[in-house]
Chains A and B, each alone.
Chain A
Amino acid sequence: MSGPSKYQPSSAVGKWFHERLPIVAFAKDHALDFPTPKNLNYWWTFGGILAVMLVVQILTGIVLVMHYTPQTDLAFNSVEHIMRDVNYGWLLRYMHMNGASMFFVAVYIHMFRGMYFGSYKAPREVLWMIGVIIYLIMMATAFMGYVLPWGQMSFWGAKVITNLFSAIPFVGDFVTTWLWGGYSVDNPTLNRFFSLHYLLPFVLAAIVFLHIWALHVVGNNNPTGINVKGPQDTLPFHPYYTMKDGFAIVVFLIVYGLFVFYGPNYMGDAVNYVPANPLVTPAHIKPEWYYLPFYAILRAVPDKLLGVIAMFSSILILLALPWLDTSRVRSGTYRPIFKGFFWVFVVVCIGLGFIGSKPPEGSYVLWGRILAFYYFFHFIVILPLLGLLETPKPLPASISDDVLAKQK
C-alpha cells in the first residue's frame, strides 16, 4: 500500500543508523507519508482521539498509582487523600475518572462509524476483529478500575459481575472463588484487580499497535467505501490528517474538559462516595453508563446462564459482523434501506442503555426484551437478508470524482 520508502538519510550518521535499524524510515512512511484517502470526514478522527485518550489514561493512571493504596481498609481513603492532599491530585483523579467515560464515548462513535461505512468488510476483517478485542479489553480494564476506589458501587458492581461466572455449569462456583481469591469479594479481589488494571492498558497499547499495523496493510476505508484507485485519490497523512485529527482532538479535549472541570461527578454514581460495606446493599446496583446496554441484555433473559450467554454473545457477535453483512457495497451512503436500519439499531442500543439504568420492573422488563431481541435480530436476520434484497445506489467512479462532484 505505502510503496517504496521516500526516506533518504541526509547525514553519514543517519545512513549508518538506517542500515542497521530503519526506524526513521518506518516512522516517516507510516506517520508522515502514509497515503490516506482524501475524502475522510470528521467521523474518521476518532481513531486519533482514542489513541490520545489511551495515553491520557496511562499517564494519569501512573501518577495516581503513586498515591493509591490497594487495600480494602485504606483504598477509599487513599483516593480521598489524592483528592485533598496531593498537589493537583483532584485534577489527575477527575481526568482519569472522566477519561474512562470519554474513552468509551469515542470508541462507540468509532465503532458506529465502522458499522455505517462498512469498514469491517473485506479486506478489513482482521482490522475490525482486532478492534473488537480492543473493545473487550477496554471493558475489562474499566470494570476493574471502577472497583479500585472501593466505594459501595465498586464493591457491589464487582460482586454482581464476578457472580455471573457462577452461572457456568459444574465449575461455576469454583471459577468464581478462583476469581475472588476467596469466598467473597475482598482484599485479594481488590489486589488482583489493581494488578490487572495496571497491566491491561499496556496490553491494550500493544494490540492498538497491531490495529494500526493492520490498518496500514490494507489502508483506510473512506466515506464512499470504494477502493483507492491511484495517487489522485490520496493525500499524505502529514500535514493533511495530522492537522485535521489534531483539530478534532483539541475540540474533543474541550468537551472532556467541560466534564472534568464543571461536572466531574455527572457521569459517576453518587453511591460510590460511600465506602464499600458488604452488609449494606445499595438500592439500585447498576454499572457505569457504558455497560448499560449489555446489562439490559443480561437482565432481559429470565435464566441466569442464558442471560450471561446472551450478554457475551451480544459483544462477540461483532466478531462475525464481516460475514453477517452480505452486501458487497461498503458504505451506508449508497444503501438506502440499510441506512434506515442502521439508525434504528443506534436508537435500539441507546434504548437498551436506558433500560439498563432502570430497575427491572414494570414495562422496563418487556421493553428490555423487545430491544434485546431486536439487537440480535439486526445482526442475524436483517443484515444477511438486506445484502441480498437491497438494490444499492450507483457508486461514484472514484474517490477523486466523488470529491470533485461534491465541490460543484
Chain B
Amino acid sequence: MKKFTMLLIAGLVSFTGASFAAENATPAKPISFSFEGPFGTFDKAQLQRGYKVYKEVCSNCHSMRLVAFRNLADHGGPGFTEEQVKALAATFTVKDGPDAEGNMFDRPGLASDRFPSPFPNEQAAAAANGGAAPPDLSLITKAREGWHGTFNQLWSNIGGPQYVYSLLTGYEEPSEEIKKETPEGKHYNPYFVSGHFISMPPPLADGQVTFDDGAPNKVDDMARDVSAFLAWTAEPKMEERKQLGFMVLIFLSVFAGLMYFVKKKIWRDAH
C-alpha cells in the first residue's frame, strides 16, 4: 500500500516538472523591487520617475482609467504634494459637460478627475493601433503573471511587475527563421503573454525621458521605474495592507498564545 502511494506521488511529481516546460511565454526576468516581501514599501522617487515615463511615453496609447490624479498624493503612493497634483492634473485636457447650452467642452484636469484616456473608445484605440487596442494599465501588474507554478508563485509572488519590466526590455532582433514567421506590423518579444509577436513597437529608447532627480535613464532604468509605478496603480493600498496585517497578526499571535495556555489550564484536570 505504501509502495503504491509512493508510486503515485512519484508519478505526480514527475509530470509537474514537464508542466512548467509546457507554458509557452518565457518566464519573466526575476528582478527584485523595493515593494516585495512582508515589509517592502514603494520607493517614492521611483514611483515619481515611473509616473513621468507613463505620462511621456505610455499615456500616448494606454489608458489608466481607474486612477485619479488625487491618488498621486495619497498615503503609500508616489508622494506628490497636493499642489504638485493640481499642477500636473492641469496639464491634461478633460472632456466635461454638457454645459447649460447642452454642449460638451474641454477643460484642464482637476485633482478629482481620473486619468483621461488617449482614445474615445476601444474601437478607436484598435483602429489607431493596427487592430489591437492597447490594454488599460491601471491593473496590468495584477492581470499578468511573470511565471507559473503553485509553489513558485507562493514564494516569489505572481511576478506581474516583472512581466511588465521583461516585456519592455525584452524586444529582440529575431533570427531569420522567426523573421519569416513574424506577421506584418508585429514585433518579436519572447516575453509577450499571447504568442511571441506583439503589436506594440519597442516603446522606450535610452535617454528618452529626462528625470528631474537626474536618475539614470537607460531603457532598463525606465522599465524598472514604470513597472514599479504600475505596481502601485494596481495595488495602491499595499503599504496600508502590509502595515495593518503586521498589527493584526501580532495581535492574533499573542491572542493565540494566551488562548493556548488558558486551554491547557482548563484541560489539566479533564481526565
Binding site for B on A (CB under 8 A): 38, 77, 80, 83-84, 90-91, 94, 235, 239-240, 243-244, 246-247, 250-251, 253-254, 257-258, 260-266, 270-271, 273-274, 283, 337, 340-341, 343-344, 347-348, 350-351, 354, 358-359, 362-364, 367, 400, 403-404, 407
Contact = CB atoms under 8 A, between A and B. Distances in A.
Given A77-B66, A80-B66, A351-B12, A240 B5 contact: no
B235 to A, nearest CB: 8
Given A84-B71, A253-B252, A283-B194, 4 more contacts: A90-B237, A244-B267, A246-B263, A270-B142
B242 A262 contact: yes
Interface stretch (B49-57, B153-161, B197-205, B208-216): B153-161
A260 B233 CA distance: 19
B207 interface: no
Interface residues of B, number: 53
B256 A266 contact: no
Given A257-B245, A270-B142, A271-B143, A403 B271 contact: yes
Contact of A273 (B15, B143, B246): B143
Interface string B227-253: 000000010110011101110110011
16 contacts: A38-B270, A250-B252, A254-B252, A257-B249, A261-B248, A262-B245, A270-B142, A270-B145, A270-B158, A340-B2, A343-B5, A347-B8, A347-B12, A363-B15, A363-B18, A367-B11
Contacts of B271: 38, 400, 403-404, 407
B255 interface: yes
A82 B57 CA distance: 29
Interface of B: 1-2, 4-5, 8-9, 11-12, 15-16, 18-19, 22, 38, 65-66, 71, 135, 138-139, 142-145, 153-154, 157-158, 160, 194, 234, 236-237, 240-242, 244-246, 248-249, 252-253, 255-256, 259-260, 262-263, 266-267, 270-271
B143 A261 contact: no
B248 A351 contact: no
A273 B9 CA distance: 34
Interface of B is mostly: helix
Contact of A243 (B66, B139, B153, B266): B266
B15 A344 contact: no
A243 B252 contact: no
A38 B266 CA distance: 13
Interface of A is mostly: helix
B15 A246 contact: no
Nearest to A261: B245
Contact of A247 (B138, B240, B256): B256
B262 A243 contact: yes
A367 B15 contact: yes
Nearest to A269: B145
A20 B22 CA distance: 69
A261 B158 CA distance: 15
Contacts of B22: 359, 362
Nearest to A249: B259
Nearest to B245: A261
Contacts of A258: 249
A263 B5 contact: no
B245 A260 contact: yes
B4 A344 contact: yes
Contacts of B144: 270
Contacts of B15: 363-364, 367
A261 B266 CA distance: 33
A244 B144 CA distance: 42
B142 A250 contact: no
- Of A270, A347, A403, most buried by chain B (CB within 10 Å of CB) is A270
